[in-house]
Amino acid sequence: MLSIRTQLGIVKSELICLIYVSKFLNGWKVHGGVKIRSDVELKPVPMPKWKLTTEFTFDSAHYIKDYDGPCGRMHGHSYRVQVEATSNQLHSSEYCPHPVMVADFRSLRWAKKDVTKGGLDHGVLNEILPPEYETTAEMIAKYIYDVTKKRVPEGVRLKVRVSETSNSWVEYEDDESES
């Protein structure tokens, strides 16, 4: 008789099981495998963490494709970049075998290198960035974020700020809700 389906479309034994579970949970809820009273409000446990910030500049030329104005013509900026890396764990790096750093500063500062050495300095950004990245400060920040993300240990959260001129900054960062 175990296979007799009820009108709810579930097996009888499953129904009995559900009744037991609902009685068991009456006024309670299960959180992380633990039964707790449903009126108890759970607050996130604060986790101590490290936050590194490094800043650098690079000088490059660019134009914004189809931009109706001076930014559509080839021109240059001294870009200022800040990269922030956050983690509650320390890691080893390519250069250091011991788990003593969030991420090696060297892996965060790659973009300041000369374009012939894999960086963005003294290049034409429209030629360096893959075509899916336009050369707005927004997309330069995303590009630096995307490349840096591949160079830092898993779980390290990143925020990249880019400034073309002293007036304006752009930020690109991990989605808080992902952690």
Ligand X SMILES: Nc1nc2c(c(=O)[nH]1)N=C([C@H](O)[C@H](O)COP(=O)(O)OP(=O)(O)OP(=O)(O)O)CN2
Write out the E strands in 91-168: 157-163
Single out the residue of 79, 75, 63 nearest to residue 169, CA to CA. 79
Single out the residue of 141, 135, 165, 137 nearest to residue 66, CA to CA. 135
| Token pair recorded at residue 135 | 């050369």
- Work out how close the CB of 77 gets to ligand X at its nearest, in angstroms, rounded to a whole number: 6
CA atoms within 13 Å, Cβ hemisphere of 84: 12
Return the range that interacts with ligand X (CB under 6 A); candidates 113-121, 132-140, 145-153, 171-179. 132-140
Q: Which residue's CB is nearer to ligand X, number 104 or number 164?
A: 164
Q: Which of 122, 138, 171, 173 is catalytic?
A: 122
- Work out how close the CB of 85 gets to ligand X at its nearest, in angstroms, rounded to a whole number: 24
Asked about 164 being catalytic, the answer comes back as yes
Binding-site member from 15, 21, 71, 100 for ligand X (CB under 6 A): 71
Q: Nearest to ligand X by Cβ — which residue?
A: 71
Asked about 122 being catalytic, the answer comes back as yes
